[in-house]
Amino acid sequence: MIVRILGEGQFRIGDAAAAELNRLDTELEAAVNHNDEAAFATALDGLLAQVRAQGSPLPPDTLEESDLILPHQDSSMDEVRKLLTDEGLIPG
């Protein structure tokens, strides 16, 4: 599947790595729900590291949609909440 890290680009990820991504994603979601900034940062860092390590970058001239999109490296929890509700974080 194709995963985008906002601000970094798209990566193609194998199924095995995707399973680990889903586990970390569940932690990320729990952290957002519990308003736990520290757990949020840890989970996000883990997710990004996993994608960078396991994924192969897509060539820049592809026009494929991503299956999953990850927040920016140093996103705050607040930014991610806005991203989820689309409160004007994505321009245009």
Partner 1 sequence: MGVMKRVSLVFKAKANKALDKMEDPRETLDYSYQRQLELLTKVRRGVADVATSRKRVELQMNQLQQQANKLEDQARKALGMGREDLARAALERKASAQAQLNDLQVQYAQLQAEEEKLTVASQRLQSKVDAFRTRKETIKATYTAAEAQTRINEAFSGISEEMGDVGMAIQRAEDKTAQMQARAGAIDELMASGALDDAVGGSRRDDIQSELDMMSASSDVERELSRLKGEITATAPKQLEGGANGNSQATTQSQAQDQGGPYAPPPAQAQPAGIPVSDLPAAEPQDGEGS
How many other CB atoms sit within 10 Å of the CB of residue 62? 10
- Please select the residue that binds partner 1; options are 17, 47, 50, 55, rule is CB under 8 A: 47
d(CA 60, CA 25): 26
Closest to partner 1 by CB, 12 vs 72, is 72
Based on the shown chain and the rule CB under 8 A, indicate whether residue 83 belongs to the binding site for partner 1.
yes
From residue 36, alpha-carbon distances to 27, 64, 70, 83 in Å are: 11, 34, 18, 17
Task: With H, G, I as helix, E, B as strand and everything else as coil, classify residue 87.
Answer: coil
Based on the shown chain and the rule CB under 8 A, indicate whether residue 15 belongs to the binding site for partner 1.
no
> How many residues of this chain interact with partner 1, rule: CB under 8 A?
35
- Residues from 54 through 73 that contact partner 1 (CB under 8 A): 59-72
d(CA 62, CA 43): 29
Contacts to partner 1 by CB under 8 A: 3-4, 6-7, 9, 21-22, 25-26, 28-29, 32, 47, 59-72, 80, 83-84, 86, 89-92
